[in-house]
A = this chain, B = another copy of it.
Amino acid sequence: MARRSGRRPGNPDTRQAILAAARTAFAERGFDAASIRVIAGAAGVDPALVHHYFGTKEELFRATVDIPVDPADLLPAVLAGDPDRVGERLVRTFLGIWDSPAGAAAVALLRSAVSNEWTARLMREFLVTQVLRRVLDQLDLDPAERPLRGSLVATQVIGLATMRYVIRLEPIASASPETLVAAIGPTVQRYLLGDLA
């Protein structure tokens, strides 16, 4: 699931300086407003070196939050197919990531976001710009409704992750993915495309 970029690891100190500058910029300005140019300037390097080490701005952002999964790789399969089952597919894909070895990094991000305002900002930016926006842009929705729909989905899937992987409340913690897809898929479906009033 992790995409190997094949990029050169580069000088460890320079990499760390770029990551630190990127974390600050993404948390303070948000993903959209934080530019590679600003990040490079803060790290004291040329913008070309940032691209050389980390690739695109999306890839740099995923490196700052230590998430080895690229939502851009996974979401097309969620969005393809019967629109009446997109909620089920989203929950199934989400559980597939969190139940995989990549889940440990996701749990670490969640723990950190809950206890640290800085990481909370990065997690918000990650959810909104890397996951929710990509899903919502592909659905036939009133643009004015998208933010509420997206954040409702976040309450349910992050709550699922919190209870299954962090608090480990039974029987959610050991339920089969398909039990959870059947129970929670319709909730996500309604939040994305159903009647909320």
Contact = CB atoms under 8 A, between A and B. Distances in A.
Contact of A152 (B162, B172, B190): B172
22 contacts: A114-B114, A114-B167, A115-B115, A120-B168, A127-B169, A147-B171, A148-B171, A148-B179, A151-B163, A151-B171, A152-B172, A152-B183, A152-B184, A154-B169, A155-B160, A156-B156, A158-B162, A158-B167, A159-B160, A159-B162, A183-B196, A186-B190
Contact of A183 (B123, B182, B191): B191
Contacts of A147: 170-171
A110 interface: yes
> Within the oligomer, what is the number of copies of this chain?
2
Contacts of A127: 169
Interface in A161-178: 162-164, 166-172, 175
